Structure 1
Amino acid sequence: MVAHGGAIPPRPFLQELHRRATSFSPRHSPPHTMADASDTSALAAAASAPEEKREKKRSFTVEEKLAVVEAAKTASLRAVARRFNVDRNCVRAWRDKEAQLAELHPNARRLPGAGRRPSTGGAGSALASKRRASALAASGDGAVESNAAAKRPATQKKKPKSVAATALPTAPSLLPPSPPADFLLIGFQGKEGAFSDVAARNAFQELQEAHALSPNEFETVGYSQVSHVVDAVERGEVEFGVLPVENSISGTFHGILDRLVASHLKIVGEVACVQELCLCALPIATIGEIECLLSHPAVLDHCESYVSAMERKNGAIIDRQATWDSAGACQIVKQEGARNVAAIASEQAAAAHGLVVLERGVGDELNSETRYMILGRLDAAPLPLGAAPGTLSTSTRPPATTKSSIVVAVPNEPQALFKVVAAFALRNVMIVKIESRPAATAGSLFAAQTTHCRDYIFYIDYITSQDALAEARLRANLEEFALWVKDLGTYSSSGGGKANVEPPRWKSVCNAIAC
């Protein structure tokens, strides 16, 4: 049969055309529907991703940043980053800029130093507990939060916990109640109860008894680093700073001495303390359970013989971990809550952080003495240490001793040091200490010279001459041979208020045995 001048196509051919046309129709689903479904879910996840990123990249207040920095002092960067939901690089950057963050804080002038702990008694303790209670009330009760989580649908995602809610309970440790305006603020490095804190309180209590302070009340303020103490004194946040400069066993703390030379401060006083090292732990701990010891590296070195004896007695190796200061080690032990961890610190540090003293006198040398220098601004007057009644009998040094400290840079030539020492010898002036340091540590003072590997400067401590004319001629003679001379201050030296431990005499021991 013929239609329109052509043959009619067979029926199977028409059926095939119809099948192909309907297979590409949009009303029918294509054969690869599962792949398209996965692509659709991926697109949906990608569409929601920017919103989640915007939620994580929130801005942090100064209080929140300081809270993160404070937590990073006692925990690892990874733990702090997970706890506060923040990147580790941000934690590291905020930790390096802690001083700038403290300046930006609205209460920075009233509350200098982020390392100070709140008061543990009296009105300060009540105020701190009241702040913690209000913070917990603002963040919500834990039971209510758990019930809300149980009622939440399974498909609803839980929002990440904000840094503000986590930082609120730790805010009182960063923002302690400010002392009254008539208090004299004294800065030190470490936490409450650190050896520097004890030395500062001993020195200024002596001045307080002699009514030599104006005002006559003082309060110590802790800082996390030595440079922060120096900067606080230079800015006027605190009146004085107390820093260790030398120990009778480990020697000079060169980093602190170098920081003093580079600063615009001077020494206004010196206090020497014989400090007792104590083994501090939780009340439930015993000496036989100790597996880890925390303290300052210098303190751990002073107790090496005692720790080795503990290892032989316990039959196990004790891990030694260094911290920024001994009082901070006590704080870590308290926060960990483990009975096998202990700290070596002062008795005051143990009491301040809720620990007990398991054993006293754990140092290798019972008469280990540390010299602390009291730093003030250039216009500050020397402190009259050694003038308080009732404290002179326990002083380890003569209270009327007046010392001077200078830094001398000499040319690299023969007899240069001999000429400097001869200037003291010809005037019968006693040199207490002389120590060399690389000239690069005082690079800012070499304005016209370029320091080399073998260039040195010399720190000299000497007893100040009672003759003012002889003292002036001594300085003039030093100026003749030296490249430059920097005066670090003339000050009084006082003992630390604790007598030396008298070693046992064999004769008295034999007499006691014979009885």
Structure 2
Amino acid sequence: MEDLNELRKEIDTIDKAMVDLFEKRMDVSRRVAEYKIANGKKVLDREREQQKLESLSALAHNSFNCHGVQELFQQIMAMSRKLQYQLLEKEGVSGSLPFTRIDQIDRKHCRVVYQGLEGAYQHEAAMQYFGKDVNIFHMSTWKECMEAIKEGMADYAVLPIENSSAGEVDAIYDLLEEYDNYIVGEQILKINHALLGLPGTKLSDIKTVYSHPQALMQCSVYLDSHPEWKQISLSNTAVAAEKVHKEQDKTQAAIASPAAAEFHGLEVLEMPINHNRFNSTRFIIVTNRKMYAADAKKVSICFELPHKSGSLYNILSHMIYNDLNMCKIESRPIPERNWEYHFFVDFEGNLNDSAVKNAIRGMMEEAVNFKILGNY
């Protein structure tokens, strides 16, 4: 039997040789980048890379090594591209991103739209972000809000995108992909759900509770303690409060905010009734203009990927090589294409940073249907 220490020494010798060869290859990649800069050529040549992978994997002597060689050189080629992207950015020939940098978002001289009614959490988030004197109006659906800013009826829309208890609002991600509207801000709102009823209502009177599906979910523990109550979903918490007020039926109650009780003449019967006392919702501020504030700290993007092994890793590794911190990743199905997805990613940075521009340029070349959703 061979000595283990001797085998390890042999591996160490091979690894050192591989490092030397890797550095030589990266030096050639640098010279390739210099040629491409001088001749205006793109970094990624998919046909050339595919031919190389096929010829290199064919040199292996068994199927396991064939697969391993292909995976190894996929990563080496990805590293080579990242080096070339960095050199392009350093030389200032990577181009500019199609977004305008402004000093700050104008929160006073604007018109804002939200979904729901007065007293809805979106209404409250809008007033927290823009101020109580903001020129504001509401629409029935999130899609109508996106249409309103697309058509110029409003400058900004306030939309919920994530709740700390119930998770993502999937429909908003779909709308961000569908419309050419962009995120320019966000507002975190602490959510304290209240059970609202007509003045004088007792808990024993209640038979039906109305609210938005996520609000019902966030209060599920409380509602489970009242199994006799029927739960009915509506489009908005404030819509639920309005319904109870209009129908003047003490057997009905709504789950909404204390502000909705004030707007719709209802009484707070119990609060807070959400089981997560740290319950918060993140709202995004969306506009139809490609702009970002000078102090923006988060970038949101979405993209599709070639349906093959390693493609997601290769895209995300652009953040690693540019020292960018990814905050979040989500996926949504692509309609009419089973088992294929849009990916939504948030990472820290500003579109004016060279590292951000470098990472985005790399991802744009390698992804399919890449879109910058905003910087805020």
Normalised by the length of structure 1, the TM-score is 0.50
| Alignment match of 1:473 (pick from 358, 365, 376) | 358
Query: Is 1:366 aligned to residue 277 of structure 2?
Result: yes
Which residue does 1:27 correspond to in 2? none
What is the RMSD computed on CA atoms of the aligned residues? 1.9
Report % sequence identity. 28
Pairing 1:206-355 to 2, within 5 Å after superposition:
217-311=133-227, 317-355=228-266
Asked whether the 8 Å contact 2:327–2:347 carries over to 1, the reply is: yes
- In the alignment, the residues of structure 2 paired with residue 222 and residue 452 of structure 1 have an alpha-carbon distance, to the nearest angstrom, of 34
Asked whether the 8 Å contact 2:222–2:273 carries over to 1, the reply is: yes
User: 2:268 is paired with a residue of what secondary structure?
Assistant: strand
Asked whether the 8 Å contact 2:319–2:359 carries over to 1, the reply is: yes
Residues 301-310 or 350-359, more deviating: 301-310
Q: Post-superposition shift, 1:327?
A: 0.4
Which residue does 2:126 correspond to in 1? 200
Asked whether the 8 Å contact 1:429–1:465 carries over to 2, the reply is: no
User: 2:216 is paired with a residue of what secondary structure?
Assistant: helix
User: 1:310 is paired with a residue of what secondary structure?
Assistant: coil
Aligned residue pairs: how many? 269
Which residue does 1:70 correspond to in 2? none
What do the CA deviations read for 1:274-310 (whole angstroms, capped 9, x no partner)? 1110011111211222111110111111111111223
Amino acid in structure 2 at the alignment position of 1:459:
F
| Alignment match of 2:300 (pick from 374, 386, 405) | 405
Higher relative CO (Cα under 8 Å, sequence separation at least 6) belongs to 2
Pairing 1:32-71 to 2, within 5 Å after superposition:
none
- In the alignment, the residues of structure 2 paired with residue 355 and residue 484 of structure 1 have an alpha-carbon distance, to the nearest angstrom, of 48
Structure 1 spans left out of the alignment, 5+ residues: 1-181, 209-216, 312-316, 385-399, 441-450, 492-515
| Alignment match of 2:325 (pick from 412, 416, 430) | 430
Which residue does 1:186 correspond to in 2? 112
Distance 1:484 1:324, change over 3 A: closer
User: 1:423 is paired with a residue of what secondary structure?
Assistant: helix
- In the alignment, the residues of structure 1 paired with residue 154 and residue 205 of structure 2 have an alpha-carbon distance, to the nearest angstrom, of 42
Pairing 1:115-130 to 2, within 5 Å after superposition:
none
Structure 2 spans left out of the alignment, 5+ residues: 1-107
Which 4+ runs in 1 deviate beyond 6 A?
A: none
Distance 1:383 1:272, change over 3 A: farther
- In the alignment, the residues of structure 1 paired with residue 221 and residue 200 of structure 2 have an alpha-carbon distance, to the nearest angstrom, of 25
- In the alignment, the residues of structure 1 paired with residue 342 and residue 280 of structure 2 have an alpha-carbon distance, to the nearest angstrom, of 26
Query: Is 1:462 aligned to residue 350 of structure 2?
Result: no
Asked whether the 8 Å contact 1:184–1:219 carries over to 2, the reply is: yes
Distance 1:242 1:383, change over 3 A: farther
Query: Is 1:483 aligned to residue 372 of structure 2?
Result: no
Asked whether the 8 Å contact 2:211–2:237 carries over to 1, the reply is: yes
- In the alignment, the residues of structure 2 paired with residue 466 and residue 485 of structure 1 have an alpha-carbon distance, to the nearest angstrom, of 15
Distance 1:466 1:322, change over 3 A: closer
What do the CA deviations read for 1:420-451 (whole angstroms, capped 9, x no partner)? 111111211111111122233xxxxxxxxxx7
User: 1:421 is paired with a residue of what secondary structure?
Assistant: helix
Q: Which has the larger radius of gyration?
A: 1
What do the CA deviations read for 1:47-91 (whole angstroms, capped 9, x no partner)? xxxxxxxxxxxxxxxxxxxxxxxxxxxxxxxxxxxxxxxxxxxxx
Distance 1:242 1:411, change over 3 A: same
